[in-house]
């Protein structure tokens, strides 16, 4: 046990002394802040309400509507400033006088396909894309109105929820990234640490100490799991501090540790098999990519379980976490049976 | 050329030996699995997350096939009960949706609305005649710029522009180019993997000291780099063509668009093996580099139609292509020219650094960077090297500044401009002064007069590069006032030149003559530079 602890201490010591773990933590911080910056940016850059709040003063639309269609009402409800003109020529004159940034012309007649014309400023103008984004929703409402007139019934157009993108991003992307990225790092570290002993020929020396090969590997894996738990704890505290509510924190942490165990054992298995860093790391990252892609399709996936635990899903509990101990044990058993390859 | 090909052949042999036996079939199977599963997962639409919402569905409701929803079939009465117990988040009863009033339920309803809206469009387009299902056409027209003669005569109206594009509102792609960015990113994944191999090739040869032997052979370092790069660049080309064919994109266009992206990734991964010191560094450095390059490529591209700054990423052109929108030459060259320059610079720097002493040295990373800059500069007279350095690092400085700008757009408007100005002043001062400081450390710059002349030359080179870049970027990016502040500060060239010269002299003097630490000297110079820029903007 003492030798075991010595190896764990040595592994943790190297990581902390080399400050390599700092890079890993920086990466995670960068990913988290980057994805939320991206989300906020995307939400505000493409959201009609935000566009109108910041650029609304500059967007006024000249409208030529011969048939008195409800399009004007839809556009006005969106919060756009609309001025009606009798003819297209008048509207165009207003456009060139700078009174309107775009013209919407609705032709008369109400049979068949309606053809609305949108006149925008010269192509290089940057407000064009803003205008097109802002009028998209009113145009769709008008389209639905026309459909109803054609006796085409569209359902579910009147549902009223709350914009869900942030919620989905936090619980199904950011939280899994923060909780499982340490596992990904742990796998890489396990490979580095095992193949380094082999490639630098230090393994025989280590084996001369009163400890078995399986114990050495177990110590290396344990130290990576301990590091991962430390990082996850820090992330959970940071999320809490930012007002993001994570339910079932204990189980979330146990799940993260279990997944780290699975990934580290699988990575170590690869290292035992290939005995060199280049191939083990390559196969490891490919396997991980496959596993992540696969897990989005299955119902029993760590990512899904994590998201559900974190939002406090009624039907998800500790048993859904305990399930993942099985693959961990299987992998670990395989590892202990094959580790002999390293010594030869 | 022959030597380059020879080294390329040798590289392929090395790869073959490394991945003979059991590895290559495993790798191929895994790669195919990744591609297959991703294609399968992306077949319908891309949605965030999986299994977040639990939805009760009545037997007569349409089926829900979206990874975000887990469904169970229940009667409306059961559904109401489950809803009240918080077991499900919403209940889809035929054409009706029942919900609670808490956040979880409301999020679920919004997600359902989005999904069902898409399904409804499919339903009506298959069960009604096309013109009945999509009864609205919107013709997009562009009016000529106001330079025409109609202000003079109010009665005369210019002939209206012809319709350039007809859209159907409900079939327009959503404004957020999420799907297209993911598509554009699919090309980047294999290129990144390939360049990681390129990196580990250098690493392996460094560890087993074969690189030393190679360096003593009659080949130049540039030939070694190009020779090693050639096989990987060809692999990258093949995967790009393959993905282009699979996604039914126009091949010449795809090759044109991805050439800068590939160069960017290779330039960066060429630097990685030159700087790492121990076996353990590389995992983390490679990880960091992957994350940063992906961020640099993805972040601007997400704003494709919302901001013109999106064009700093070469991926934006691909996003436009997949959205069926055109890209102009200016918009293409805007990221491509600086990246090509960066690539050339990386090749040059790499060939200077590829020597045994530098590769095998174990020193702190900052020292190692200092050594690298020395190696790059010391090939010729300081009077030529310093202005050339300032001229050549412009693309890198400019990419860094644009990244700042992209990130700063998320800050509150009040501090956005200030933060960008300060950060970019720091980067500019660093670029202009570091060369002189490193040369002075090696005793190649002596005396105050010498330092002053070099500071002036550095400022001159920098200004020249800045103006060249400005010619390129005008028109592509018009987002005033921030880009003005970055690239166009100051009316008079002489004043700008003098300002650059003054700040560079301050930094170099403080650090080489007054022996103040470089970081402090740099902060002082940057603060002054920032104050000067801020003053100019306020004055304009």
pLDDT digits (tens, 9 = 90+) for B352-392: 888 777 777 777 777 888 888 888 887 778 888 888 888 88
Contacts A–B by Cβ distance under 8 A: 286
| Predicted local confidence at residue B7, as pLDDT | 85
CB B482 within 8 A of CB B420: yes
Q: Give yes or no for a contact between B524 and B507, defined as CB atoms under 8 angstroms apart.
A: yes
Measured CA to CA, the distance from residue B386 to residue A49 in angstroms comes to: 51
pLDDT over 50 (residue A330): yes
Chain B closest CA to A11's CA: distance in Å? 12
Q: Which helix (H) or strand (E) holds A120?
A: strand A114-120
Dump pLDDT digits (tens) for A200-248: 788 888 888 888 889 889 999 999 899 899 889 988 988 888 778 899 9
Length of chain B: 540
Q: In this model, does residue B152 exceed pLDDT 50? A: no
Q: Search chain A and give the residue with CA nearest B100.
A: A161
**Chain A: residue nearest B96 by CA?**
A156
Whether residue B151 is predicted with pLDDT greater than 50 in this model: the reply is: no
Phi, psi of B313 (to 5 degrees): -95, 130
- ipTM reported for the complex, 2 dp: 0.84
**Cβ separation B48–A283 shorter than 8 A:** no
Q: Which of A40, A114, A168 sits opposite B49 (nearest CB)?
A: A168
- Model pLDDT, residue A110: 62
- Give residue A335's pLDDT: 94
Please report the pLDDT score of residue B47 as a whole number.
58
pLDDT, tens digit (0-9, with 9 covering 90-100), for B246-266: 888 889 999 999 998 999 899
Tell me if B225 sits within 8 A of B201, measured CB to CB.
no
Query: Chain B contacts of A278, Cβ < 8 Å?
Result: 18, 200, 203-204
Instruction: Identify the closest residue of chain A to B111 by CA–CA distance.
Output: A164
CB spacing of B299 vs A293 below 8 angstroms: no
Instruction: Look at residue B278 in the predicted model and tell me its pLDDT.
Output: 66
Are B143 and A120 in contact (CB < 8 Å)? yes
Q: A166: distance to nearest CA of chain B, Å?
A: 10
Find the CB nearest B30 among A24, A171, A290: A290
DSSP string, B123-183: HHHHHS-HHHHS-EEEEEEEPPPTTSGGGT-TT--PPPPPEEEEE-GGGSPPSS-HHHHHH
* Beta pairing, strands B136-142 & B69-73: unpaired
Task: For residue B138, list chain A residues with Cβ-Cβ distance below 8 A.
Answer: 115-118, 139
Q: For the residues of B382-423, what is the DSSP string, one character each?
A: HHHHHHHHHHHTHHHHHHHHHHHHHHHTTS-HHHHHHHHHHH
Please name the residue of chain B whose CA is at the shortest distance from the CA of residue A139: B169
Burial of B324 per CB tally in 10 Å (0-12, 13-18, 19+): exposed
- Name the phi and psi angles at A107, rounded to 5: -75, 160
Residue of A41, A116, A189 best to disrupt the B interface, most CBs of B under 10 A: A41
CB B201: neighbour CB atoms within 10 A? 21
Closest-CA distance of chain B to residue A66, Å: 16
**B85 chain-A contacts, CB cut-off 8 A:** 314
Cβ-defined contact of B48 to A173 (cutoff 8 Å): yes
* Total Cβ atoms within 10 A of residue B246: 11
3-state helix/strand/coil string of A61-103: EEEEECCCCCHHHHHHHCCCEEEECCCHHHHHHHHHCCCCCEE
Instruction: Indicate the residue of A147, A188, A314 with minimum beta-carbon distance to B135.
Output: A147
Residues 6+ apart with CB under 8 A from A123: B142
Within B2-100, strands assigned E span 53-57, 69-73, 90-93, 96-99
* 8 Å CB contact of B50 and A146: no
Taking contacts as CB-CB distances below 8 angstroms, the residues of chain A near B411 are: none
Confidence of residue B55 (pLDDT cuts 50, 70, 90): very high
Report how far residue B283's alpha carbon sits from residue B272's, in angstroms, rounded to the nearest whole number.
Answer: 10
Q: What share of chain A has pLDDT > 70, as a percent?
A: 94
B41 vs A292: CA distance, rounded Å: 11
Which residues of A are less than 8 Å from B142 in CB distance? 119-123
Q: What is the pLDDT of residue B132?
A: 86
Compare all CA atoms of chain B with the CA of A283 and give the residue at the minimum distance: B27
Are A188 and B478 within 8 A, CB to CB?
no
pLDDT value of position B535: 81
CA distances, B79 to each of B59, B74, B98, B101, B399 (Å): 11, 6, 9, 15, 55
Closest by CA position to A138, among listed A68, A79, A54, A66: A79
> Which chain A residues have a beta carbon less than 8 Å from that of B68?
168, 172
Segment A253-290, tens digit of pLDDT: 999 999 999 999 999 999 998 888 878 888 898 888 88
What is the rounded average pLDDT of the residues A308-329? 92
Rounded to a whole number, what is the distance in Å from the CA of B3 to chain A's nearest CA?
A: 26
pLDDT the model gives residue B480: 43
Cβ distance of B280 and A41 shorter than 8 Å: no
- Whole-number average pLDDT of chain B: 80
B50 contacts A172? CB cut-off 8 A: yes
């Amino acid at each position: 046990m003492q030798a075991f602890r010595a190896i764990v201490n040595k592994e943790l010591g190297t990581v902390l002394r080399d400050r390599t773990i700092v890079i890993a933590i920086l990466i995670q911080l960068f990913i988290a802040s980057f994805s939320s910056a991206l989300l906020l940016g995307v939400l505000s850059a493409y959201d009609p309400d935000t566009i109108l709040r910041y650029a609304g003063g500059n967007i006024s639309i000249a409208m030529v509507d011969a048939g008195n269609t409800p399009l004007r009402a839809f556009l006005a409800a969106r919060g756009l400033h609309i001025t009606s003109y009798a003819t297209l020529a008048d509207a165009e004159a207003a456009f060139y006088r700078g009174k309107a940034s775009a013209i919407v012309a609705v032709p008369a007649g109400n049979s068949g396909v309606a053809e609305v014309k949108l006149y925008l400023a010269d192509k290089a103008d940057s407000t064009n894309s803003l205008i097109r984004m802002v009028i998209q929703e009113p145009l769709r409402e008008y389209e639905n109105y026309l459909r109803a007139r054609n006796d085409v019934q569209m359902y579910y157009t009147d549902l009223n929820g709350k914009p869900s993108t942030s919620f989905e991003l936090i619980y199904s992307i950011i939280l899994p990234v923060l909780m499982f990225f340490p596992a990904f790092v742990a796998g890489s570290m396990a490979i580095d640490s095992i193949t380094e002993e082999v490639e630098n020929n230090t393994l025989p020396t280590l084996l001369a100490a009163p400890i078995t090969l399986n114990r050495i590997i177990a110590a290396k894996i344990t130290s990576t799991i301990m590091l991962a738990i430390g990082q996850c704890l820090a992330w959970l505290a940071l999320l809490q501090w930012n007002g993001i509510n994570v339910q079932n924190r204990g189980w979330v942490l146990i799940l993260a540790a279990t997944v780290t165990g699975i990934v580290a054992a699988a990575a170590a298995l690869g290292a035992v098999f290939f005995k060199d860093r280049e191939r083990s790391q390559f196969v490891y990252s490919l396997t991980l990519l496959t596993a992540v892609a696969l897990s989005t399709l299955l119902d029993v996936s760590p990512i899904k379980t994590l998201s559900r635990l974190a939002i406090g899903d009624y039907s998800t509990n500790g048993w859904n976490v305990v399930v993942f101990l099985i693959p961990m044990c299987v992998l670990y058993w395989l590892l202990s049976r094959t580790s002999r390859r390293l010594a030869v | 050329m022959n030597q380059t090909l020879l080294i390329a052949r040798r590289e392929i042999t090395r790869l073959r030996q490394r991945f003979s036996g059991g590895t290559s079939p495993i790798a191929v199977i895994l790669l195919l699995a990744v591609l297959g599963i991703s294609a399968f997962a992306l077949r319908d639409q891309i949605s965030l997350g999986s299994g977040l919402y639990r939805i009760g569905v009545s037997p007569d409701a349409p089926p829900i096939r979206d990874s975000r929803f887990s469904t169970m079939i229940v009667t409306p009465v059961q559904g109401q009960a489950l809803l009240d117990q918080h077991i499900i988040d919403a209940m889809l009863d035929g054409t009706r949706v029942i919900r609670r009033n808490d956040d979880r339920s409301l999020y679920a309803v919004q997600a359902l609305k989005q999904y069902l809206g898409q399904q409804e469009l499919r339903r009506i387009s298959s069960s009604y005649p096309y013109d009945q299902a999509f009864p609205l056409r919107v013709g997009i027209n562009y009016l000529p710029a106001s330079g025409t003669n109609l202000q003079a005569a109010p009665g005369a109206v210019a002939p209206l522009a012809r319709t350039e594009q007809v859209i159907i509102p409900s079939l327009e792609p959503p404004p957020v180019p999420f799907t297209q960015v993911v598509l554009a990113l699919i090309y980047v994944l294999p290129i990144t993997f390939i360049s990681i191999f390129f990196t580990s090739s250098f690493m392996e040869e460094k560890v087993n000291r074969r690189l030393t032997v190679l360096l003593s052979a009659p080949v130049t370092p540039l030939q070694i780099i190009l020779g090693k790069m050639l096989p990987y660049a060809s692999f990258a080309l093949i995967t790009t063509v393959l993905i282009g064919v699979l996604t039914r994109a126009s091949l010449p266009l795809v090759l044109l668009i991805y050439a800068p992206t590939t160069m960017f990734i290779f330039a960066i991964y060429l630097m990685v093996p030159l700087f790492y010191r121990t076996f353990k560094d590389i995992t983390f450095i490679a990880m960091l580099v992957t994350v940063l390059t992906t961020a640099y490529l993805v972040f601007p591209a997400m704003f494709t139609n919302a901001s013109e700054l999106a064009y700093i990423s070469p991926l934006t052109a691909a996003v436009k292509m997949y959205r069926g929108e055109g890209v102009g030459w200016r918009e293409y060259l805007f990221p491509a020219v600086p990246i090509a320059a960066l690539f050339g610079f990386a090749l040059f720097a790499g060939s200077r650094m590829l020597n045994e002493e530098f590769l095998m040295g174990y020193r702190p990373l900052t020292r190692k960077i200092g050594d690298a800059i020395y190696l790059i500069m010391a090939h010729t007279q300081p009077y030529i090297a310093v202005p050339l350095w300032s001229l050549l690092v412009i693309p890198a400085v400019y990419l860094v500044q644009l990244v700042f700008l992209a990130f700063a757009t998320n800050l509150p408007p009040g501090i956005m401009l200030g933060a960008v100005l300060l950060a970019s002043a720091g980067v500019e001062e660093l670029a202009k002064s570091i060369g002189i400081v490193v040369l002075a450390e090696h005793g190649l710059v002596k005396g105050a007069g010498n330092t002053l002349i070099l500071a002036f030359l550095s400022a001159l080179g920098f200004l020249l590069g800045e103006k060249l870049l400005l010619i390129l970027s005008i028109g592509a990016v018009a987002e005033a006032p921030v880009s003005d502040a970055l690239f166009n500060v100051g009316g008079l060239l002489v004043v700008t030149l003098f300002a650059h010269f003054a700040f560079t002299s301050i930094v170099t003097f403080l650090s080489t003559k007054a022996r103040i630490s470089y970081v402090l000297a740099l902060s002082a110079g940057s603060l002054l530079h920032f104050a000067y820029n801020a003053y100019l903007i306020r004055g304009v």
